[in-house]
Structure 1
Amino acid sequence: MVVYRLSTCTLSVSWSDPCAGRYTERIWCSGLASVAAICVLTGRTIIRGDRVFRPRTREMRVRPDCHNMILAETIGDCSDLEFTGA
């Protein structure tokens, strides 16, 4: 998984999975988890109300990764992430 921070509230995420497919430079936006989940970056538990990043869903069709989430605190801990925003 490759993650670039675009701004304080958006990420660009590229990843591939043999079962789920390939996702290149998808925009993920910050928000609060509305359901419990597992962080796709770390495998840590996400509970309802945690600050998370999830794929932006503006398209009419629902993508298979629309329910994935990354804990926002995990991104804060990753000092090696490239910041590409202004």
Structure 2
Amino acid sequence: MMTPEVVLDIYGEALWLIVKMVTIIVVPSLIVGLIVSTFQAATQINEQTLSFLPRLIITLLVIIWAGPSLLGQLMDYSTTLITSLPTLIG
């Protein structure tokens, strides 16, 4: 039966999966951005593309590297949710 506790559990699992996926993709970009910003501050180079391009490349590499795992986790969650719907509804 679909109780508020079950809905909150499903919502919590989905939210945790989203947070995990975003963290894996965004944190390396933030670290590279911090390193590049520190380099720019030390050398007084104020070029916007110098900051953007390394972050873009790192983000794409992380998506290529971790993408299959993240997609697998998302598909596992979706499959579990879809297969458990009949028991949750009735």
Fold shared by both chains (TM-score > 0.5): no
Identify, as 1 or 2, the structure richer in strand: 1
Larger radius of gyration: 2
Q: TM-score range by the shorter chain?
A: under 0.3
- Give the TM-score taking structure 2 as reference length: 0.21
